[in-house]
Chain A
Amino acid sequence: MVRQDLEAATGRYLNLIGRADEEGAAGLVLGLIGEGVPAEDVLLRVIAPCQRRVGELWASNEWPVAREHGATAVSERVVAAVSGRVRPTETRGRVAVACADGEYHVLPTRIMAEVLRLRGWQVDFLGASVPGPHLITHLHQTGPDVVALGCMLPTRLPRAHATIAACQAVGIPVLAGGAGFGADGRFARLLGADAWAPTADAAADRLAAGLPSFPAVPDDSGDTAVHLGGEEYAYLTRHRADLLARVMDTLTGRPEHTAEDLGNMADFLIAATYVHDAALFTDFVVWTCRVLEARQVPAESVVLGLGAFHDVLTDCPDARALLNEGVAAAQACCGRSARPADQRTETSV
């Protein structure tokens, strides 16, 4: 099938999942496979780009959250249908694929699992938000060659780190994947993952190239483990609830600051403190400004929220430095679309 046809199919697919038409979407995808389009292309060139587009449509407030969730649920079932239709023979080793603890954005990881299956791996897909003990029990019971761990949001990094270390401690190397590990995979390296891949097909290529059969000894002499976390991280994690309560007190009378948004702010701040990475925090700030602007909430409210955290965190110089960078990033967003309004819609991530 030529490229244009696949692009047209992608447009039709987006339309179908936007109406939560599972039957139509599955019919389209299985039809493509029936016409000879490789299942991997269908997953990576039709479903995955549409799901990225769905995220953008939600962020720009063109789709309500329910429609986004509906479309994603349909794609999940379509991926399952592809998996049921195409049954490759298992010619390679065994992989356990899981989403990091607390990670509910399951579809990218599910697609990676399917691509690995199509490339001949025996795949155990453990699903969304897999708690560490659950994963380790699975590893003992099945003894896979490698764990592929998906993490879409950097706020899950501290728990992903614990999971990576636990897998390696039971002798199984870890391939990290997903946007949560950074667009360049820097957090995967920092947390000691044995390998990193930006996309599902890159993950399959990386595994085909071979991972060490036993994870390397953590480099304690280096600066990785030593520089993760630290006092401020521990303080912020322990006092998250109190801090949020105090921040919300200083912001009383400003309805545009929802508890959920401020909670996100705290979580990204905590994650940035864990990996000592300012870009993690400023990327989040810029993204939040964009999402709020799409909902007619000016970026000034983000400046105000960050300022409230800054005032409360008197004893955390590193976190305050991050907040200052966040304020600068939010100020740069201010005035791009200055429409006054205090209407708020949901902005869950």
Chain B
Amino acid sequence: MRGAAGSAGPVPDLMAALLEGSGEGIVLCDADGVVTLANAAAARMVPRVEPGLPAPAPLDSVPPSPEGRVVLHGGRAIRIRAQAVSGGMLAWYLTDLSAARRTEFLLEAGRRLSASLNPHRCARAAAELGADFLADMAIVLLPPTYRRRIEWVRAVSGRYGPEEGVLPAAEAAEVPGLSDALAGLRHGVAGQQDPGGAPGWLLPEGFGPAGHLLVLPMPGNGVPAGAIVLARRAGRPPFDDDDQVMARDLAARAGAAVSAASLFREQSTINDILTGDLLPPELPEIEGMRLAGRLRASQQAGAIGGDFYDVYLPDAAPDGGIVERPPLVILGDVCGKGAGAAVLAGQVRHSLRTLLLLECRLDRLLELLNRSLIASPSPNSYVTMILAALRTGPDDHVLVDLVVAGHPPPLVLRKDGTVEEVAARGSLLGALKEISLWPATLDLEPGEVCLLYSDGITEAFGGPSGREMYGEARLKEALATCAGMPVEALVERLEQLSTEWLGGGPGGGADDRALLAVRAGAGRTETSW
């Protein structure tokens, strides 16, 4: 603290400490315009302020007013507010707007660039930050794709919403320094470029000529993550040292964000390809009946798990050696949850598809599957499942041939609303060399439904007490209320009731849940309504 002894009386120690600690600059002068005290922040912003001397520029040019005035001084933008205090004394309060802008930039950059794992959203955030804090226009260019195309995002300060587009990589060379920046050949160098050389595509329509151009590489994970070009209109001040430091900071943060997002995109693309076959299939239209299915995986971010269902339509044009058979639906559950279980479920579905080319007897199919599971090198390859062959009978009936291997037997919803359990039983697959099966055939009248489900439905713990198992009795009761419903509505309702039973918990403990229903008859409901 600089204070003139005697001129304003001694400042108590506590007051002095308070003033010294303030981030706002405070200057006090007496009625003659002579400075009596100035704290450290004030001395930093206006180095010539000195107690005992008259108030220097730019303080002397700011008259007392409540809103104050912004002045440029020593490369900083400073908001100065003057206020009369007692005894003709005058106080000035100084706020360093440059520092505020930089702090604000750092906060915003941190918030926006750390948010998304999508390369485009990151590029967009970087362009908007550039246009908000550094330039009249900012354009982010992502590295060329294998087709030699460059995706870009451009933001203009004061305009709503960024623009996006794609351009051939060759055209990037038209911006001085941009090819080098995109190739990672300019490490962190803030390149001021000749604005005269900017091609037409760089600037938006109606922007006017650029006065200053800054081209910066965005460093990534060892490989460049793109480049950012900042432009100020002709007549605006050039990018000074502070601007360039900020621009480099922006480019570095944007590069880190874009490259992390690109890695995530790459991984999730691979993931999507690998799991594509493991998702439940779209259910086909089958003449004389209607199918609906639902599958909820316990793992919330991925949609895959150990429960599965599938439909195998007969070969459209069976030729030599391929057996003829009716459509087949299956529903099953492999031991475990998550990705490991999903892989085994995928193998089971695939094996069955192949076996069906040569075999159509349901019990024989399960015996073959069982042998293949026992021979499987991976441990715990246990599977429970139901096979249901769907034959159309006379008078729009559907005949369902069922084999059940260690799985809860299907339920049947009759026309009068009663619910029956099918008396088919059999042993689990993958455990013992010999399996025993007691198959059954079901006759569905039009409007009647056969429901296949996994134990994730009946063994769901929840309910009013949170500790109760849903159980078969509740499922049967719920199914009975669905008489007359279209099969999609039926399956949706059962899933909804089961989800409500599980309650508002995070779902972490929940098992996979699968439902598949076959309803005999075509579209219309045959009820008494």
Residues of chain A having any CB pair with chain B under 8 Å: 18-23, 65-67, 69-70, 72-74, 76-77, 102, 104, 128-129, 131-134, 136-137, 139-143, 158-159, 169-172, 210, 213-214, 217, 237, 240-242, 244-245, 248, 259, 262-263, 346
Contact = CB atoms under 8 A, between A and B. Distances in A.
B125 interface: yes
Size bin of chain B's contact surface: 35 or more
A134 B116 CA distance: 15
B496 A143 contact: no
Contacts of B504: 102, 158-159, 237, 240
Ranked nearest first, the 8 interchain pairs of A and B with the lowest CB-CB distance are: A143-B118, A73-B489, A171-B115, A241-B466, A20-B525, A140-B117, A133-B301, A69-B489
B115 A244 contact: no
B161 interface: yes
Given A76-B488, A139-B118, 15 more contacts: A20-B524, A20-B525, A69-B485, A70-B525, A104-B496, A140-B118, A141-B265, A143-B119, A143-B120, A170-B121, A171-B121, A210-B160, A244-B464, A245-B465, A248-B464
Contacts of B463: 259
A143 B301 CA distance: 16
A287 B488 CA distance: 28
A22 B116 contact: no
Contact of B464 (A66, A67, A169, A241): A241
Nearest to B128: A213
Contacts of A77: 488
Contact of B499 (A74, A129, A134, A137): A129
Chain B interface, DSSP helix/strand/loop, else mixed = loop
Given A67-B484, A104-B499, A143 B507 contact: no
Contacts of B302: 137
A23 B161 contact: no
A322 to B, nearest CB: 19
B124 interface: yes
A170 B486 CA distance: 39
B211 interface: no
Contacts of A242: 465
B361 interface: no
A73 B488 contact: yes
B300 A143 contact: no
Scoring A66, A129, A132, A245 by chain B CB atoms within 10 A of each residue's CB, the highest score goes to: A66
Main secondary structure of the interface of A (DSSP, over half): helix
B111 interface: yes
B507 A131 contact: yes
Interface string B492-529: 11001001000110010000000000000001110001
A217 B104 CA distance: 12
Contact of B118 (A72, A134, A142, A245): A142
Nearest to A94: B120
B117 A170 contact: yes
B301 A137 contact: yes
B492 A104 contact: yes
Contacts of B465: 241-242, 244-245
Contact of A245 (B268, B464, B507): B464
B484 A20 contact: yes
Contact of A21 (B118, B268, B523): B523
11 contacts: A20-B525, A66-B482, A69-B490, A70-B484, A70-B486, A104-B492, A133-B301, A136-B301, A139-B116, A139-B118, A240-B503
A136 B268 CA distance: 13
Contacts of B124: 213
Contacts of A142: 118
A348 to B, nearest CB: 8
B264 interface: yes
Contact of A170 (B115, B119, B268): B115
A20 B524 CA distance: 6
A214 B523 contact: no
Given A23-B523, A133-B301, A143-B121, A73 B485 contact: yes
B139 to A, nearest CB: 15
Given A171-B112, A214-B128, A65 B481 contact: yes
Contacts of A346: 481
B147 interface: no
B483 interface: yes
A227 to B, nearest CB: 21
B148 interface: no
A73 B507 CA distance: 26
B314 interface: no
Contacts of B121: 143, 170-172
